Amino acid sequence: MAQITAAAVVLDLENHKFGPAQSPAQLELGIEPVGIQDTREPSVLVPATQSVGFALGWDYAHHGLTPPALQLYANSPLRQGFQAGSATFGRRTLSAKRHTQQWLLLRTHAWSRGRSFEDVQLTPNYLQQIEVGFCPITRQPLDAHKASRNQAQIDRVRDDAGYAAGNLVMMSRAANLAKAHYGWQEAAEVARSVEAGPIHRIAGLGSSEWQRVALLCSFVTELPHEQAAALPLLVLPPNRLRLFNPIQALQAMLTRQLATPGWSARLARIEALLPSQACKADFNRFVLALAPRVLAVSNLHREQEIRWALEDAWQQPLLLKRWTRFALHLNAAQAEALLQRAAAKHLVNAVHVQHMSQPNAIDGWALERGGFCAVSQVQGH
């Protein structure tokens, strides 16, 4: 498994939540279906540590919640932690809001599968930040109905990494089941196969949906700069996802400028930061290919529809051709520096750019263990 050596960029939406807000009782945590990832590497699956299970049970008690019945078997460390916490806290418990319940259920799911869970950055507040109303793959509204195609589920984008900040997105159950353990290359191959036919749907997804799956996976996969520069932005990066290819982060930032007023002036100031006249000329050609989408976007009122319009613009071969020509004037370091300079000059409207250096970019991802807990730490469960 190749190790990531590049830094990562996190794009945060500033007060922009695509899709309708969820009421406290509307959205329920969905988890990855057991039997998809789990059966692929049964020899690697290990129970979590006694201490992790105990701490998890303790937190359930601290918030006045009862753990899932399946985890309360005899000698379960989670049960032991729950009993100890209940005896300690009694009725003096903390408020358990919806995202806190999601956080506990996600930790339980990871613990029961022996998956690594980074619990410093991955908090209830973090889960609230990645919540969406529509699936980024199928574009269908998410719901809380168990086993429905559109049930909201939290997915690890990289299957060889654990549950950690920067590696999680919310999507529909249908997209989650189809994506399974696929990475960037495998999903791209499926997308090409579906597009070529004669079978036009695989695992319930069509060509456009598989292309979005592949691009989503590419964001957290370190690619050669030239390869990353040639990919159309068919899905905008979900909030808080870490982008390991600076040129894709630049692509997303520039595309999102068209969603808010004043984009022309901002892009003109970004142009002034470019290193050469040839680079500036190709940048203008790219903008001229992208700008007509503003006409379509200006007639839209729902932010989710604006997002889809910007994504759909990248289906145009001319736009991708002009983008790639411009992007190849830069190398990865220059693309990253341009992002940082634009952010410093407050030219990245509606987006917050956070640079993360190695090894902070993959902190808690457990890539060296394929996303599982350390075998040496396992004591039984």
Q: How confident is the model at residue 10 (pLDDT cuts 50, 70, 90)?
A: confident
Name the region of 308 (left: φ>0; alpha: ψ -120 to 50; beta: rest).
alpha
Angle at 110 between CA 376 and CA 54, to 5 degrees: 70
Asked whether residue 358 carries a pLDDT value surpassing 60, the answer given is yes
In Å, how far are 7, 336, 355 from 343, measured between CA atoms?
17, 11, 10
Task: Please tell me the distance from the alpha carbon of residue 236 to that of residue 256, in angstroms, as a whole number.
Answer: 8
- Residue extents of the structural domains in the chain: 8-47+114-377
Between 276 and 380, residue with greater pLDDT: 276
pLDDT of residue 58: 97
SS3 content of the chain, % helix, strand, coil (to 5): 45, 10, 45
For residue 69, pLDDT over 80 is answered with: yes
pLDDT of 40 higher than 50: no
Say if residue 96's pLDDT is above 60.
Answer: yes
pLDDT in tens, 315-351: 999 999 999 999 999 999 999 999 999 999 998 876 7
Average pLDDT value for residue range 102-125: 95
pLDDT of residue 29: 42
Q: For the chain, what percent of residues have pLDDT higher than 70?
A: 85
Q: What's the confidence (pLDDT) of residue 375?
A: 62
Q: Is the omega angle on the peptide bond into residue 224 within 30 degrees of 0, that is, cis?
A: no
Question: Is the N-terminal amide bond of 359 cis, ω within 30° of 0?
Answer: yes
Instruction: Tell me if 129 sits within 8 A of 240, measured CB to CB.
Output: yes
Helical spans, DSSP H, in the chain? 50-62, 77-89, 98-113, 124-129, 173-179, 184-196, 207-219, 225-228, 246-256, 263-271, 277-290, 293-298, 303-313, 317-327, 332-344
84 vs 80: CA distance, rounded Å? 6
Which tens digit of pLDDT belongs to each residue from 220-242?
A: 999 999 999 999 999 999 999 99
pLDDT tier, 188 (very low <50, low <70, confident <90, very high otherwise): very high
Beta bridge mates, 117: 163
**This prediction's pTM:** 0.87
3-state SS assignment for residue 45: coil
* pLDDT above 90 (res 65): yes
Q: How high does pLDDT run on average in the chain?
A: 86
Cα separation, 157 vs 218, in Å, equals 9
